Structure formats: C-alpha cells, structure tokens
Amino acid sequence: MIGILGELLITAGVLVFLFLAWQLWFNDLVVGAQQNQAGVSLAQQWRVSTPSTPSAPATPAPSPSDAPQDFGAPSIGTAPANAVQFAVMYVPRFGSNYARSISEGVSTVQVLDKNGIGHYPGTQMPGQVGNFAVAAHRTTHGAPFNGLATLQVGDRIYVQTQDGYYTYQFRGLEYVRPTGVGVLDPVPQSSRTVPTDRVLTMTSCNPMFSAAERIIAYASLKSWQPTSAGPPAAIQSIIAAKG
C-alpha cells in the first residue's frame, strides 16, 4: 500500500517536471519557430504582391539600404479585424533571423498565446504620429519579447506592413505597474500632450515568469521606405530566405 502511494507521488512529481520542461523550453521552441515561420511567409507574400503602390515608379533593381532617401511622410494603414496579422516585426538584437507577425488585438487566447505580438486596439498604426503600441509574451508561448531587456539604445526595430518598412530606433526601457496604461498614450505617460513624434511602445511582463510588473520598451521612428524601395539591408536576408 505504502509502495503504491510512493509510486503515485513520484509519478505526480515527474509529471509536474515534464509539464514545466514542456512549457518553459520545448513548447517555447516549437511555438517560437512557428511564429517566426509565419512572420517570414507573411513578408514573402507581400513581396510577391508588391504592385499595390500605384504612385511608385517601377524601379527594377532598387539598391537595398538603410533608407538614404527621403520617401516623404510614411504611409499609414488601417487597423484590421481582431486577430488578423497585418505587420511583421524584425529585431536584429533578438536574433539575426527574428521575424514575428503583429496581429490586431491583445487577447491572450486569440492573439498573444497563438500569433505572438498583438497591437493594442485604439493606439496608432505603424509610422503614424502618436503611439504604435504592441504587447507580447516575454516567456512561454514562443516568447517574442524574451530579449526585451537586452535592447540597447539605438538598436533598430523594423516593422513591415503591406505598404513598406518602418525603421524604429530603440530609446529606452521603463517599468510600470500592470495598471500603467499611460504608456499607451499618444505621447507615452503624458496624456494631455499633443503628439508630434512617431513612437513604438512594446509591453511585456516583468520580472520574467511573473505578472507583478510590466516592462516597457520605447522606440521612435527613424525612417520609412515603401515596399517598392525594397527592405532595409539589415533584414533583407530574412525576407529573401526560402520560406
């Protein structure tokens, strides 16, 4: 009798450790790879269907670069329906082939646990004056923002939509309480200021494996280039890679 009870307890312990290993390591790798794959294929889909910008002249071989040209005011898309993937984020600091899709909405089950990065509804769109605010897991479920605290000032964060490429530059981190919605303001933490900057705000959990606080990363728009101009040099190889 005691022997059976002991075996049951040991089995329960093994099951708990198995679940932890699955959640924190195995599933993270699997889901992360799936999300990256989804991001790359979304980017390649846009590359194939490029002739959506009628005003852009057909430049046959655009030299890919980090936007030496001025393409004027960035094109602003409209937010899609909930859970629809409408953009891809590239962060070289997170890995040389990092490409994760951005979906509309921050629903845990529909977006954050599945697609990865979610866009706060009601905040601005990529390139728009104001605040393009997104959220993602820092641990588990593919952990798109796992490396958020490793960003260094000046790091590039590329956001691609059907219209083009928005190059953001990382400015700094902030730590807030879970109720700190001020980070979503058009001018973060300054709700009454009229925005003039184009800001990207990334939120995730802090500390890792906890929900006690939120880590916030801010970046501001540095340049923009339309799809016809080709991707910035830093992310060109990811998009060109075979899907």
Partner 1 sequence: MYGALWRLMPGPIWLRVVLMVLFFAVILAVLILVVFPWLNTFVNVNDNTVGQ
The residue among 18 and 73 lying less far from partner 1, judged by its C-beta, is 18
- For the CB of residue 15, give the shortest distance to partner 1 in the complex, in Å: 8
C-alpha 239/C-alpha 29 separation (Å) is: 21
DSSP state at residue 25: I
Active site residue 141: no
The residue among 112 and 238 lying less far from partner 1, judged by its C-beta, is 112
Length of the chain: 243
Angle (CA) 160 137 240, round 5°:
30
- For the CB of residue 204, give the shortest distance to partner 1 in the complex, in Å: 4
- For the CB of residue 202, give the shortest distance to partner 1 in the complex, in Å: 10
Q: Which of 137, 141, 156, 198 is catalytic?
A: 137
C-alpha 32/C-alpha 144 separation (Å) is: 7
The set of residues, in sequence order, having a beta carbon less than 8 Å from that of 196 and lying 6+ positions away, is 129
The position carrying tokens 């005003």 is 55
- Alpha-carbon dihedral angle through residues 84, 122, 136, 45, given to the nearest 10 degrees: 30
The residue among 77 and 180 lying less far from partner 1, judged by its C-beta, is 180
Q: Which of 119, 138, 141, 205 is catalytic?
A: 205
Name the site residues for partner 1 (rule: CB under 8 A).
3-4, 7-8, 15, 18-19, 22-23, 26-27, 106, 108-109, 112-113, 118, 120, 135-140, 145, 176, 178-181, 183-184, 203-205, 208-211, 214
Active site residue 205: yes
Q: Which of 119, 156, 198, 214 is catalytic?
A: 214
Q: Are 158 and 234 in contact (CB under 8 A)?
A: yes
- For the CB of residue 74, give the shortest distance to partner 1 in the complex, in Å: 26
Q: Are 106 and 82 in contact (CB under 8 A)?
A: no
The residue among 178 and 243 lying less far from partner 1, judged by its C-beta, is 178
Positions annotated as catalytic residues are 137, 205, 214
